Amino acid sequence: MARSLAALPKAELHIHVEGTLEPDLAFEIAQRNGISLPYDSPDALRAAYDFVDLQSFLDVYFIAGGALLTLADFSDLALAYLERAHQDAVAHVELFFDPQAHVSRGVPLSDIVGGLSEALAEAHTRWGMSGSLIACFLRDRPAAEAMAVLDDLIALNSPDLVGVGLDSTEVGYPPALFRDVFARAADAGLHRVSHAGEEAPHTYITEALEALGVERVDHGVRAIDSPELVQRLAREGIALTMCPLSNKRLQVTPDLKDHPLLVLVEQGVKVTINSDDPSYFGGYIADNYEVVREVLGLTDEQAADFARTSIEVSFASPSRKAELH
């Protein structure tokens, strides 16, 4: 009898808070804000989830995220996710959020961060969960805009904000565009991660390491195409935060039998299993562990190793990591 994957204490390290917005909550929040979404109902929104690639998903993701306006919206959204994550024994979470998607609509940055922080504090009180925030810059928008948002984030001085990332449309927007932004983030003592090698080739992963100094790579699927890069990731202990259900739904690996995560582990790369945008991709973190077990044949020991790795490569404090190991 296989041990319950949901019960393994684990960290979630690749989770976009906007991607946890379930259609019912999107409609509830839109209604109380007097915003009309371009869908007739939660079911109609769900019916629009017929993604063929990253862009077709992002189009829906940014529309639904347009319902979010107030500090309470961000708090309610994050707490709903954290409660769901708690059911999957997530003991530590690093929440990605896209500040530009909201400040561009007039939402104050302090309300976004304030709402997310409120939910993290509540999850700590209720379940002893630890958590922090990683602000992701939209790579298809100008680096100067990201720099201005970074300055505002630094000025907020939130103890919850531990890092910056890079997400959204990948092809045509290479990491080096954000070299100066990430250098400033490093100067401010922030951790650095980046999506890379999801739809773009392995060269984007190498560029994220060299131009941005990232400590982890989000997705990194295409690393498998470069033996030199795989060796480097293993040697330097750069972890990949992988998301199998996302990769299937966005046709990055249409057949999960071809997902490289176990081969990468065999080559010595630190790999974690995460959910990315669970409202959109049909499963939360334990579902992602489960599909890897089903399709790639994970032993109990391998499953426990993924959970242990997630805690090890997290940005939790050394004392928190010791508690969770």
Collapse the DSSP code of 210 into the 3-class scheme (helix H, G, I; strand E, B; otherwise coil) and give the result: helix
Residue 98 binds Zn ion, judged by CB under 5 A: no
In the complex with Zn ion, the residue whose CB is nearer, 94 or 207, is 94
Nearer to ligand ES4, 89 or 97 (CB): 97
Which is nearer to Zn ion, 27 or 137 (by Cβ)?
137
- Give how many residues touch Zn ion by CB under 5 A: 1
Is-catalytic flag, 294?
A: no
| φ, ψ dihedrals at 52, nearest 5° | -115, -15
- Answer whether 11's CB lies under 8 Å from 311's CB: yes
Residues in 227-256 that interact with ligand ES4 by CB under 6 A: 246
- Taking the C-alpha atoms of residue 168 and residue 141, their distance in angstroms, rounded to an integer, is 9
Q: Does 12 bind ligand ES4 (CB under 6 A)?
A: no
Name the DSSP letter for residue 196.
E
| Set 198, 199, 207, 290: catalytic member | 198
User: Looking at beta carbons only, is 54 or 298 nearer to ligand ES4?
Assistant: 54
Least spacing, CB of residue 155 vs ligand ES4, in Å: 25
Using rule CB under 6 A, residue 274 touches ligand ES4: no
Given the complex with ligand ES4, which of 191 and 195 has the nearer CB atom? Answer: 195
Give the one residue of 168, 279, 288, 310 binding ligand ES4; rule: CB under 6 A.
168
* DSSP secondary structure string for all residues of 20-79: G--HHHHHHHHHHHT---SSSSHHHHHHT---SSHHHHHHHHHHHHTT--SHHHHHHHHH
Strands (DSSP E) found in the chain = 10-16, 90-97, 130-138, 161-167, 191-196, 216-219, 239-242, 271-273
Q: Determine the Cα–Cα distance for residues 230 and 227; give it in Å rounded to an integer.
A: 5
Distance CA 208, CA 162 (A): 18
The one-letter amino acid at 222: R
Between 171 and 200, how does the x/- string for binding to ligand ES4 read (CB under 6 A)?
Answer: ------------------------x--x--
The answer to whether 195 is a known ligand-binding residue is yes
Q: Quick one: which of 12, 73, 88, 276 contacts ligand ES4 (CB under 6 A)?
A: 276
For residues 56 and 49, give the distance between their C-alpha atoms in angstroms, rounded to a whole number: 9
Contact flags string 273-292 toward Zn ion, x per CB under 5 A: ---x----------------
Q: Which residues are catalytic?
A: 198
Residues forming contacts to Zn ion in the complex (CB under 5 A) are 276
Residues forming contacts to ligand ES4 in the complex (CB under 6 A) are 16, 19, 54, 61, 167-168, 195, 198, 246, 276-277
